[in-house]
Structure 1
């Protein structure tokens, strides 16, 4: 296979002298660094912080092409959510319920516990785990509707013990999606506001007359949402700065090429900036997948979006062997990694960086998106090098517990005194020394 570009997707080889340069160009995504976007976001944030509901209404009318004049028109009641749920076809209700139960069951296993231990002198040390009071979840609603994102964000918050969940979801042209509303009902969301973009992030971060201020904002969004989340971090917590969706498939050449092509499409159809990469050491297999891509792409309902994504950021990469494939995994740190190989378990010890790992030929990434159980809110753009999937732990915080006995305070005071005086912090030292016995 030569290092060429087909009509749809780039073909790369690790043997090519320019490979690393080309790969870097494909991986590059600087969406939240655009100065024009940052300036616009800062303007929206400041406006919402100052004027509250009115600024949110004006921005929502402008960006979502609405004509509302009160926040009550942008707030959905529990009865509306229940009506949407009850009105779904039984098949969709059952699918939502099954997915919700699986997500809950998985995240129940993540729950950390408070703990304490007592030292010989009676000093007690420990950790207290406390859920957040209020969480805000952002659910995308522009190019597609994502009821699965409602479940993936709200259910772990509930499992964690969060008291109130505030959901925001944009509804361009006022179009409500019943599946999204039904998922909010099923997941027990307390407030739903039909707002999006930077104005929604601002409302959650600062609070308005109608939108309660939250302690943390989670969930993916577009470039304006990502930029706004970065800007308000510190005022509130955030889960991550989410970039475009990504999939990296590693195939040993034995998986049906049509399966692989459709797995690549499953992320490419999200938006034009999404990324789909296939890596294999079997050149004929890459050729077969390329043929499947060309044949199957026109059958997609979102074919223009998927084609643009594959053209701009997709790649079929020929590597030398399994070891080189592993090197590439750890370099790219993909959001979704499919190991479409005979013995995926043998790869795990060598994989250090990936958001979610889908093991074997039958485990498509799509199963993880909807109903497998683990969270589909995952680190993107290489951030799997240092961050993790959304989980229960994102909705809890930890407090240290220190309870010194008189004997413990005396002994620890001697150590603290020496260290504090070494730092020339004499008040620290004297505070500890007051508790030393028989000075």
Structure 2
């Protein structure tokens, strides 16, 4: 793992929007699903997943969900249940309520909060299956009050055995019973526009490969999406009190996700930098996903040595990382200086996987520096808001001429007349329609 000074480290990271060929392929898939429905969905499932299905086989049956419990360890079920309880407790504190404000003149202003009606959750297969992502997507939607939650996942996440049983058990524990064995861009398009077998949704969330990300971008506008997620990131801000083995392990916990994942240590301690570099190499030798993690740390990882902790904080805020660990003698003392980070982990024992799996906050967090302006997934992602306006006659008579003034200054005479006709009818108009 390379050790560099802050002056030699380039903060820019190219955002991946896919190759022209990938974008073209996704557009064709989305168009075909819109036109052909199930026919195209089944064709692409056979082409890309090498699984032949009939329309009747698309939906996972209740019997399959129940059978999945027999294919996983009891300890896993207990772990999922405990994690789900923590996630529910955390997200329950985010729930909003509708409100109204009644003024003395009879005016009522307010906001109506309603859940989305139907949400689609994409659960990836590929290099790894993520049961924890099922909980992180589904539970906030449930707390928001979404009545219909549908899940899609590739038909061979578990290899020849079909859908990974751990994903199915996580879905069952989260309360999802509408699950379809489809993946890729074709599944995203099916959720967005519907087919004979899958009803369309209002929003699509969940991670996926580049084709899933491009498909979500393609259908945005017809439906809402959570984000266009990039590779995982971790930054560890540490001083000389940090344990090198802990820091190295946490860096590798993200590096093993993907060859394009980013793992960075920022420290004013040259001694810690050297020790962590050696420890990363040692731990890599024993890591089952060594090839992926090594590619990540060599191409997108770094140990940045800064002149001071203040400079380190500045580097962190420019990086705006998905995950930030603060491993210093007084981590709470630095929290107020952190402006840009998706999730902040404080102290030596708040390792990033604590948040990924168990603590309760959502692990779907902004990447590619977008923590500068966006936030982790929460209950707000699954609600919609309507403004409520009731004006009494007294209030309109009081404010009407001011509204007319603003409308005419914008050249919108129809707006002005809509108010003026009411003022005239009540004997308060005065100036007539045509005067400017």
TM-score range, shorter chain: over 0.9
Q: In the alignment, is residue 410 of structure 1 matched against residue 397 of structure 2?
A: yes
Shift of 1:364: 0.4
What are structure 1's unaligned runs of at least 5 residues?
1-8
Q: Which residue of 2 aligns with 1:36?
A: 21
Q: In the alignment, is residue 46 of structure 1 matched against residue 38 of structure 2?
A: no
C-alpha separation between the residues in 1 aligned to 2:2 and 2:23? Answer: 31
Report the 3-state secondary structure (helix = DSSP H, G, I; strand = E; otherwise coil) of the residue aligned with 2:138: helix
Q: In the alignment, is residue 23 of structure 1 matched against residue 11 of structure 2?
A: yes
Matches for 1:74-93 after TM superposition, within 5 Å? 74-85=58-69, 87-93=71-77
Q: Which residue of 1 aligns with 2:382?
A: 395
User: Is the contact between residue 107 and residue 395 of structure 2 (CA under 8 Å) also seen in structure 1?
Assistant: yes
Shift of 1:220: 1.2
Q: In the alignment, is residue 170 of structure 1 matched against residue 154 of structure 2?
A: yes
Report the 3-state secondary structure (helix = DSSP H, G, I; strand = E; otherwise coil) of the residue aligned with 2:35: helix
Shift of 1:89: 2.2
User: Is the contact between residue 85 and residue 185 of structure 1 (CA under 8 Å) also seen in structure 2?
Assistant: no
Q: In the alignment, is residue 151 of structure 1 matched against residue 135 of structure 2?
A: yes
Shift of 1:406: 1.1
User: Is the contact between residue 168 and residue 193 of structure 1 (CA under 8 Å) also seen in structure 2?
Assistant: yes
Q: Which residue of 1 aligns with 2:353?
A: 366
Q: Which residue of 2 aligns with 1:113?
A: 97
Change (3 A) 1:78 1:433: farther
Shift of 1:108: 0.3
C-alpha separation between the residues in 2 aligned to 1:417 and 1:33? Answer: 50
C-alpha separation between the residues in 2 aligned to 1:403 and 1:85? Answer: 53
Shift of 1:427: 1.0
Matches for 1:203-352 after TM superposition, within 5 Å? 203-352=190-339
Shift of 1:40: 1.0
Match of 2:341 among 348, 351, 354: 354
Superposition RMSD on alpha carbons, in Å?
Answer: 1.3
C-alpha separation between the residues in 1 aligned to 2:199 and 2:272? Answer: 53
C-alpha separation between the residues in 1 aligned to 2:102 and 2:116? Answer: 28
User: Is the contact between residue 248 and residue 277 of structure 1 (CA under 8 Å) also seen in structure 2?
Assistant: yes
C-alpha separation between the residues in 1 aligned to 2:273 and 2:296? Answer: 18
What are structure 2's unaligned runs of at least 5 residues?
429-436
User: Is the contact between residue 56 and residue 200 of structure 1 (CA under 8 Å) also seen in structure 2?
Assistant: yes
User: Is the contact between residue 2 and residue 277 of structure 2 (CA under 8 Å) also seen in structure 1?
Assistant: no
Match of 1:130 among 114, 118, 142: 114
C-alpha separation between the residues in 2 aligned to 1:283 and 1:79? Answer: 58
Match of 1:67 among 49, 52, 57: 52
Shift of 1:78: 2.7
Report the 3-state secondary structure (helix = DSSP H, G, I; strand = E; otherwise coil) of the residue aligned with 2:385: strand
Q: Which residue of 1 aligns with 2:434?
A: none
Match of 2:42 among 47, 57, 71: 57
